[in-house]
């Protein structure tokens, strides 16, 4: 499969000694197999939905920008202020979708940051025009269309999240030296289906979401999720957030999707103003 042309980016001006080694640092955005292939039902205690559901995504658009990467405490050598919309569903053989690249000094780029936010002037990397228009019309930072299935029952969903979140102090693993390197902004879609806001080991669950489809039309909407009171639920704990309904619960989870280089952690700063 041919790769999409990697966009050029603006980088901070650098004053380098002639002997300073440099090479290419590339930035990709990846949704892992959970977005590209889907989230399965758990089998024998393995990963996946604990209640027998499975989910596949038809589109998973993320508006990403303000990407920086620095080596240690240095000034970021990679600085891409503009926003781009990336659909993370197309298969990438584990490479993710290209965001940009820059010629940077050698070093370990272990301080990465990026913002997920609505941006009216964002560039389109690979989303369809229809999906991009839907994201922009909703003023969304994350726009998701998918389908859940269990035992012949199917539920669809199209959700738009408008929150702006900054992910900082991401512990990147890119090593730029005699060879080019890359860092991967990683989006964890499974967080949307966590059943607890405060547990360190939440489950993946869809049954409560499926039950929100009270009109039985097969589509679970934000309005239906907003009508689900979490008060009687044994799971779906919300801590001190004050959240009372299932839609706001999922919205809160949508601000925790950002990671780095797979499972690497970031400090979440949000909402961004």
| 199 falls within a domain | no
Phi and psi for 211 in degrees, rounded to 5? -70, -15
Q: Checking DSSP bridges between strand 165-170 and strand 153-161, what pairing results, if any?
A: unpaired
Structural domain containing residue 95: 22-192+258-266
Helix or strand holding residue 157 (H, E): strand 153-161
| 2 falls within a domain | no
Alpha-carbon separation of residue 127 from 29, 172, 270 (angstroms): 13, 26, 25
| 16 falls within a domain | no
Cβ pair 69, 27 in contact under 8 A: yes
Would you mind telling me the total number of residues written for the chain in this entry?
A: 273
Kindly give the confidence (pLDDT) of every residue in the chain, 273 residues in length, as a single tens digit, with 9 standing for 90 and above: 333 444 544 444 444 444 568 999 999 999 999 999 999 999 987 899 999 999 999 999 999 999 999 998 889 999 999 999 999 999 999 999 999 999 999 999 999 999 999 999 999 999 999 999 999 999 999 999 999 999 999 999 999 999 999 999 999 999 999 999 999 999 999 999 999 999 999 999 999 999 999 999 999 999 999 999 999 999 999 999 999 999 999 999 999 999 999 999 999 886 554
| 35 falls within a domain | yes
Residue whose structure tokens are 């600085």:
79
| 207 falls within a domain | no
- Looking at residue 11, its pLDDT comes to 45
- Looking at residue 74, its pLDDT comes to 86
- Minimal CA–CA distance to 115: which of 252, 271, 253? 271
- Looking at residue 72, its pLDDT comes to 85
Q: Checking DSSP bridges between strand 123-124 and strand 84-87, what pairing results, if any?
A: parallel
pTM recorded for the entire structure = 0.91
Cβ pair 260, 171 in contact under 8 A: yes
End-to-end CA distance of the chain: 39
Cα dihedral 222→118→121→129 (10° resolution): -30
| 160 falls within a domain | yes
| 182 falls within a domain | yes
Domains in the chain: how many in total? 1
Residues 61 and 97: their CA atoms lie apart, in Å, by 11
- Looking at residue 15, its pLDDT comes to 40
Q: DSSP secondary-structure letter at 6?
A: P
Residues 265 and 262: their CA atoms lie apart, in Å, by 9
Helix or strand holding residue 33 (H, E): helix 32-36
């Amino acid at each position: 499969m041919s790769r999409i042309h990697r966009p050029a980016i603006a980088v901070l001006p650098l004053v380098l000694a002639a002997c300073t080694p440099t090479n290419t640092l590339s930035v990709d955005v990846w949704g892992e197999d959970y977005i590209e292939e889907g989230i399965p039902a758990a089998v024998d205690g393995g990963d996946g939905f604990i209640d027998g559901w499975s989910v596949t995504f038809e589109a998973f658009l993320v508006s990403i920008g303000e990407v920086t990467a620095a080596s240690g405490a240095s000034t970021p050598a990679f600085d891409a202020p503009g926003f781009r919309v990336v659909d993370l569903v197309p298969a990438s053989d584990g490479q993710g979708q290209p965001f940009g690249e820059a010629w940077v000094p050698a070093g370990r780029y272990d301080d990465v940051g990026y913002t997920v936010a609505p941006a009216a002037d964002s560039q389109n990397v690979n989303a369809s025009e229809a999906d991009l228009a839907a994201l922009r019309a909703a003023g969304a930072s994350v726009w998701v269309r998918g389908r859940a299935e269990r035992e012949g029952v199917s539920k669809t969903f199209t959700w738009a999240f408008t929150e702006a979140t900054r992910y900082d102090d991401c512990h990147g693993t890119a090593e730029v030296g005699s060879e080019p390197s890359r860092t991967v902004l990683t989006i964890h879609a499974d967080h949307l289906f966590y059943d607890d806001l405060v547990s360190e080991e939440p489950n993946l669950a869809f049954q409560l979401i499926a039950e929100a489809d009270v009109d039985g039309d097969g589509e679970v909407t934000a309005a239906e999720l907003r009508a689900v009171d979490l008060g009687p639920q044994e799971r779906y704990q919300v801590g001190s957030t004050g959240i009372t309904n299932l839609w706001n619960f999922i919205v809160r989870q949508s601000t925790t999707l950002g990671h780095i280089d797979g499972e690497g952690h970031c400090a979440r700063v949000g909402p961004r103003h």
